[in-house]
Amino acid sequence: MKNSNKKYVVILGDGMADYPIDELGGKTPLEVAEKPNIDALCAKGELGLVKTVPAGMKPGSDVANLAVLGYSPARYYSGRSPLEALSIGIDLKDTDIAIRCNLVTLSDDEPYENKVMLDYSAGEISSAEAKELIEYVNANLGNDVLSFYNGVSYRHCLVRHNSETGTEFTPPHDISDRRITVYLPKGLYGEEMLSLMKKSYDLLKDHPVNVARVKAGKNPANSIWLWGEGTRPALSPFEDVYGLKGAVISAVDLIKGIGIGAKMKVIEVEGACGTYETNFAGKAESAVKALLEDGCDYVYVHMEAPDECGHQGDLKHKILSVELIDRVVVQYIVEKLREAKVDFSILVAPDHPTPIKLKTHTSDPVPYVLYRSYDEKDNAFKSMTEKNAKASGIYYDDSCDLTAKFIKED
Ligand SMILES: [Zn+2]
Question: 303 C-alpha vs ligand 1 centroid, how far in Å?
Answer: 11
pLDDT classification of 72: cutoffs 50, 70, 90:
very high
Residues 292, 154, single domain; the answer is no
Question: 266 C-alpha vs ligand 1 centroid, how far in Å?
Answer: 21
Residues 388, 308, single domain; the answer is yes
* Bridge partners of residue 223, in order along the sequence: 104
**Within a domain: residue 165?**
yes
**pLDDT tens sequence across 147-160:** 999 998 899 999 99
Question: 254 C-alpha vs ligand 1 centroid, how far in Å?
Answer: 12
With 60 as the cut, is the pLDDT of residue 231 above it? yes
pLDDT of residue 274: 72
Question: 184 C-alpha vs ligand 1 centroid, how far in Å?
Answer: 25
Residues 242, 221, single domain; the answer is no
Lowest mean pLDDT among 85-89, 113-117, 127-131, 389-393: 85-89
Residues 108, 12, single domain; the answer is no
Residues 19, 156, single domain; the answer is no
pLDDT of residue 410: 56
Output the average pLDDT for the chain: 95
Residues 60, 164, single domain; the answer is no
Residues 226, 369, single domain; the answer is no
Angstrom distance (rounded) from CA 86 to CA 94: 12
pLDDT classification of 4: cutoffs 50, 70, 90:
low
Question: 176 C-alpha vs ligand 1 centroid, how far in Å?
Answer: 19
Neighbouring CB atoms inside 10 A of 255's CB total 27
Question: 1 C-alpha vs ligand 1 centroid, how far in Å?
Answer: 36
Question: 74 C-alpha vs ligand 1 centroid, how far in Å?
Answer: 20
Residues 67, 195, single domain; the answer is no
Residues 242, 153, single domain; the answer is no
**Within a domain: residue 348?**
yes
Mean pLDDT score, 252-268: 94
Residues 295, 340, single domain; the answer is yes
Residue where a domain terminates, one of 216, 231, 246 = 231
**pLDDT tens sequence across 267-325:** 999 887 777 888 999 999 999 999 999 999 999 999 999 998 998 899 999 999 999 99
Domain that holds residue 323: 7-76+236-408
**Within a domain: residue 1?**
no
CATH number of 22's domain = 3.40.720.10
pTM (predicted TM-score): 0.86
Question: 123 C-alpha vs ligand 1 centroid, how far in Å?
Answer: 21
pLDDT of residue 226: 98
**Within a domain: residue 176?**
yes
**Within a domain: residue 2?**
no
Residue where a domain terminates, one of 231, 253, 272 = 231
**Within a domain: residue 329?**
yes
Angstrom distance (rounded) from CA 29 to CA 160: 44
Question: 14 C-alpha vs ligand 1 centroid, how far in Å?
Answer: 7
With 70 as the cut, is the pLDDT of residue 1 above it? no
Residues 297, 167, single domain; the answer is no
Question: 232 C-alpha vs ligand 1 centroid, how far in Å?
Answer: 22
Question: Which is more confident, 248 or 153?
Answer: 248
Angstrom distance (rounded) from CA 85 to CA 386: 35
**pLDDT tens sequence across 166-194:** 999 999 988 989 999 999 999 999 999 99
With 70 as the cut, is the pLDDT of residue 378 above it? yes
Residues 335, 379, single domain; the answer is yes
- Angle at 143 (CA atoms; ends 139, 144), nearest 5 degrees: 145
Q: Count up the domains in the chain and report the number.
A: 2
With 80 as the cut, is the pLDDT of residue 266 above it? yes
With 50 as the cut, is the pLDDT of residue 3 above it? no
Question: 162 C-alpha vs ligand 1 centroid, how far in Å?
Answer: 32
Residue where a domain terminates, one of 179, 210, 231 = 231
Question: 182 C-alpha vs ligand 1 centroid, how far in Å?
Answer: 27
Question: 354 C-alpha vs ligand 1 centroid, how far in Å?
Answer: 7
Question: 52 C-alpha vs ligand 1 centroid, how far in Å?
Answer: 14
Q: What are phi and psi of 160, to 5 degrees?
A: -105, 115
With 90 as the cut, is the pLDDT of residue 5 above it? no
